[in-house]
Structure 1
Amino acid sequence: MMIVVGAVYMKRSNNTEEYFLGGRGLSGWVAALSAQASDMSGWLLMGLPGAVYAMGTGQAWIAVGLFLGTVFNWVCISSRLRRYTIVANNSLTIPAYFENRFRDKKRILLLVSSIVIVIFFLVYTASALAAGGKLFNSVFHVDYHIALAIGAIVILAYTFMGGFMAVCVTDFIQGTLMLIGLLTVPIVAYCVMHGNISEILNQSGVEGGAASFLNMMTNGERNFTPVEIFSQLAWGLGYCGMPHILTRFMAVRDEKELKKSRVIAITWVALSLTAAVTIGVLGRAYLYPTILGTEGAVSNENVFIEMITKIFTVDYALPFIGGIFLCGILAAIMSTADSQLLVTASSVAEDIYHNFIKKDAENSTIMKISRATVVVVAVLAFLIAWNPDSSIMGLVSNAWAGLGSAFGPIVLLSLFWRRTNLAGGIAGIVSGGVTVLVWDYLPLVHGETLGVATGVYSLAVGFLISVLMIVVFSLATKAPDQEILDEFDRVKAMKNQK
């Protein structure tokens, strides 16, 4: 069905604005569900429930941070970003917005931000493909690598054909399916267990019993430290810098639709995150140890899959209904992977090829480059996800930190601090991205990375350093030209206008 949607919208995607931004014609419902479905991905239905299943409700601090980040993003950033990208020469991508916002004639910002997008979105897309591989492997017992290929081909097909509108419409369908599955399955599981959750948890191998497992201040076998809670809450900072979410704000039809989107998106996220945490808790009581644990499957990230399978094929003979709910997991995976493929394609084709390699390229040529990029990125992400033991949570964590640290601070300050200039923007993007790479990948402390040694999430460190660099470099260099300041004031004055 998703491929059919892609084929329908292929005929409508005749130019770059249609392919990358849907002609700025998204409705409130489609924008809201598309933004949140592309955001949450397989992480919501596999990574988060798996972490809660293994360690307890203390892992829900990540969900709290993400909810706060979602609210801030929709309330404070969405409207102003939409206005600013229109005023700033109708910017179609986030890198193009940076270039137009700071009048970067040498296009340094454009190149740097495009490179950052390609690097971290490769990892992000790989996490979605890995989730798809684990889903097909668990449900159909297909070899992980074959399962990985099937998921990649389907996602690739409709993104390649239909562009932004195909991605958004399929995200709307997928987001609806995700929410139905997230809300229905834990309710059914609770009824099947007759509500005896605490009693069952005490027998489920949890260190400290139900009291410990259900305590948000414990992390597995010990108490949470303030640093660990801060690191989990820091996930919310990433929202300010996610290109695949920010482009939805840019593409909404008008301010009225954007206000509608805000309410829908925040409600969807609150319900979905709560349900995902509940699935982890109920799964521990329902599945351990024979289905998922010492005697069954070993991957905690399969908790939602195993719960659906047990309820609808073992306890009740309703495999078709179970299949629909398993489609919700596939929908979560697809809705993120397609968005990331499209953002990467826009960065390569529009921002790098069109602006650096061939400035007089025709629309048809840019479209071909875009679609070729979608194929290449999908193949590279496929290779990154090749290891069946790769952690969905780990891949998402690294990519989220890189994008959030590189782009979050400059998006925020470019919209709300008049003094931000080109030098500050370049310093912020580079310092944020490099900090995450150093923090997460270089073994600098007795063979361990700084992230492992300190327990501090790289996003918190990278975001702070990026903000400091933007402020220091902006104040230490020439103030923005009057033209830029006037444009900033004009956007600010549009606050109450439609």
Structure 2
Amino acid sequence: MTASTPLVITFAAYLALMVGIGLWAYRRTETFDDYILGGRSLGSVVTALSAGASDMSGWLLMGLPGALYLGGVSQSWIAFGLLIGAWANWRFVAGPLRVYTERTRNALTLPDYFTHRFADDQRLLRMLSALVILVFFAVYCASGIVAGAKLFESVFGLPYGEALWWGAAVTILYTFIGGFLAVSWTDTVQATLMIFALLLVPVMVLIGVGGVGEGLALVEQVDPARLDWVGTGGLLAVVSALAWGLGYVGQPHILARFMAAESLQTIPAARRIGMTWMALCLFGSMAVGLFGIAWYSAHPAAAGPVTADAERVFIALAQQLFNPWVAGVLLSAILAAIMSTLSCQLLVCSSALTEDLYRGFVRPRAGQKELVWFSRAMVLAVALLAIFIARNPESRVLGLVAYAWAGFGAAFGPVVVLSLVWQRMTRNGALAGMLTGALVVVLWKQTGSALYEIVPGFIAASIAIVVVSLLGRAPPADVQATHRQVRLTLRENGH
């Protein structure tokens, strides 16, 4: 299959816009702080949409619709778990983390925050957390590159191996050039494009099948089990799906948006904007997958691409329901979702390598320009590693995301939450929690259990933090004093 001229022009215009934003951001990036956190200058709208777009990767337009297309409404529990988790993250983590990172020597990264929060002079936390970021983000970045390759493969008829490089090239370019500001502003454009696509496509699908009632009747004719909310996995599968919400508090690329907010006062407005955007996108995505079953039952001759790979259901519907110009815009939304998350992940990996390993251990006195250029080099290095991991055309986007999401959620989530609310937490407690969470996720995954690995990982990490902290000495007086000051600031500001 070859792409039409309108599709090529639409994609080219979109990609040119993203590179243009990268060049604009390049002119505003002077220091390493600018490159990593944009000088903490994001307002409510950019904070909200950037956090949402960096979270909702290619799985929103490919993995989730594909899961509903194959499994029906029982797969929706993932979305409900994410909505609950995202709201809790905005409500209870965003504000405290914004204040705490500023009070802990203006921490630029999550490992930086852990190091100063617990006065870790040996820098063990910095090293361990940087390694966790590199391991799980390599997998996470690979999921974005797989999604991009599938898109270019479907739209342009490219071989998978060639599509890998085209799908990743522009994202690498604007992240390399413009850093955090480029990533945040392109995220805002991409979030707008994503919500447009996820509202328009399900509306047209529903019109095509005769409305919600007719659509559900067609789904029932295909397979009544696809309207069963519990599904074949039983309650264990429901718990596992809802547990995706636990992962939010440990995702470095999302937490970085909170750290970069202009002030504590921007958080409540950003939460309202972000949650509205997220709810509309998730319900649109679920509708594409579920009512795609109905549409293809009525148009079986068109179902070939989706039968071969259910994760292409949004791509196929966009191409089959719309003229090529509109389809080009809608398919650009998939590229937007992929690029927004991949760029954030590349930047977080790059910052961990630069701030937490290179400056932390190799060149403590490195100048600002040296740090910025080393960080750019690390963007390229991580991207190449992710492309290597993604080289298997049988890779599933949702599977790769699930593993990385669990790794971060269990390794960092309990450490982040307890560090913000518990004064008695110690450095050794944080180390024990991080190590326990990461190991339990990796080992549990090998068992093949139906229970999502984030559940035992999160519980085990939380227990390890509490036990090890209580068995050791209380934190130093100055660490406890900083904690009290942060809590006082939050109370004074109504948080």
2:368 to 363, 367, 392: 363
Contact 1:46 1:303 in 2 (8 A): yes
Structure-2 residue corresponding to 1:415: 420
1:305-324 paired onto structure 2 within 5 Å: 305-312=315-322, 318-324=323-329
How far residue 241 of structure 1 moved from its aligned partner, in angstroms, is 0.4
1:61 maps to a residue whose letter is W
1:55-454 paired onto structure 2 within 5 Å: 55-195=71-211, 196-204=214-222, 206=223, 209=224, 212-218=225-231, 222=232, 224-288=233-297, 289-292=300-303, 297-312=307-322, 318-440=323-445, 449-450=446-447, 452=448, 454=449
How far residue 187 of structure 1 moved from its aligned partner, in angstroms, is 0.5
| Equivalent-residue separation in structure 1 for 2:296 and 2:135 (angstroms) | 38
2:46 maps to a residue whose letter is V
Contact 2:99 2:264 in 1 (8 A): no
Matched, 1:487 2:482: yes
| Equivalent-residue separation in structure 2 for 1:213 and 1:229 (angstroms) | 14
The CA deviation string for residues 92-132 of structure 1, in whole angstroms up to 9 with x for no partner, is: 10100000000000100000000000110000000001000
How far residue 272 of structure 1 moved from its aligned partner, in angstroms, is 1.1
Q: 2:385 is paired with a residue of what secondary structure?
A: helix
| Equivalent-residue separation in structure 2 for 1:93 and 1:433 (angstroms) | 19
The CA deviation string for residues 192-222 of structure 1, in whole angstroms up to 9 with x for no partner, is: 2222213322443x2xx2xx3223122xxx3
| Equivalent-residue separation in structure 2 for 1:478 and 1:497 (angstroms) | 30
Structure-2 residue corresponding to 1:443: none
Structure-2 residue corresponding to 1:444: none
| Equivalent-residue separation in structure 2 for 1:282 and 1:225 (angstroms) | 23
| Equivalent-residue separation in structure 1 for 2:270 and 2:143 (angstroms) | 27
How far residue 285 of structure 1 moved from its aligned partner, in angstroms, is 0.9
Structure-2 residue corresponding to 1:38: 54
| Equivalent-residue separation in structure 1 for 2:303 and 2:362 (angstroms) | 52
1:48 to 55, 64, 74: 64
| Equivalent-residue separation in structure 1 for 2:62 and 2:429 (angstroms) | 38
Extract unaligned runs of 5+ from structure 2: 1-16
Contact 1:85 1:92 in 2 (8 A): yes
Give the number of equivalent residue pairs.
Answer: 473
How far residue 256 of structure 1 moved from its aligned partner, in angstroms, is 2.4
Q: 1:460 is paired with a residue of what secondary structure?
A: helix
The CA deviation string for residues 402-441 of structure 1, in whole angstroms up to 9 with x for no partner, is: 111110000000001111010001111111111111122x
Contact 2:220 2:226 in 1 (8 A): no
Extract unaligned runs of 5+ from structure 1: 313-317, 441-448
Q: 2:265 is paired with a residue of what secondary structure?
A: helix
| Equivalent-residue separation in structure 2 for 1:412 and 1:198 (angstroms) | 41
1:489 maps to a residue whose letter is R
| Equivalent-residue separation in structure 2 for 1:30 and 1:159 (angstroms) | 17
Percentage identity across paired residues of the two chains: 43
How far residue 497 of structure 1 moved from its aligned partner, in angstroms, is 4.1
Contact 1:291 1:297 in 2 (8 A): no
Moved over 4 A (4+): none
Structure-2 residue corresponding to 1:446: none
| Equivalent-residue separation in structure 1 for 2:301 and 2:137 (angstroms) | 37
2:310 maps to a residue whose letter is N
Structure 1 residues 235 and 109, CA gap change in structure 2 (3 angstroms)? same
| Equivalent-residue separation in structure 2 for 1:56 and 1:487 (angstroms) | 49
| Equivalent-residue separation in structure 2 for 1:403 and 1:217 (angstroms) | 27
2:320 maps to a residue whose letter is K
Contact 1:292 1:300 in 2 (8 A): no
| Equivalent-residue separation in structure 2 for 1:291 and 1:91 (angstroms) | 53
| Equivalent-residue separation in structure 1 for 2:135 and 2:198 (angstroms) | 31
Matched, 1:471 2:466: yes
How far residue 296 of structure 1 moved from its aligned partner, in angstroms, is 5.9
| Equivalent-residue separation in structure 2 for 1:109 and 1:99 (angstroms) | 6
Give me the TM-score of the superposition, normalised by structure 2.
Answer: 0.94
Contact 1:122 1:380 in 2 (8 A): yes
Structure-2 residue corresponding to 1:315: none
The CA deviation string for residues 357-388 of structure 1, in whole angstroms up to 9 with x for no partner, is: 11111111111110110001001100111111
Contact 1:189 1:282 in 2 (8 A): yes
Contact 2:251 2:412 in 1 (8 A): yes
How far residue 297 of structure 1 moved from its aligned partner, in angstroms, is 4.2
Contact 2:112 2:126 in 1 (8 A): yes
| Equivalent-residue separation in structure 2 for 1:477 and 1:132 (angstroms) | 48
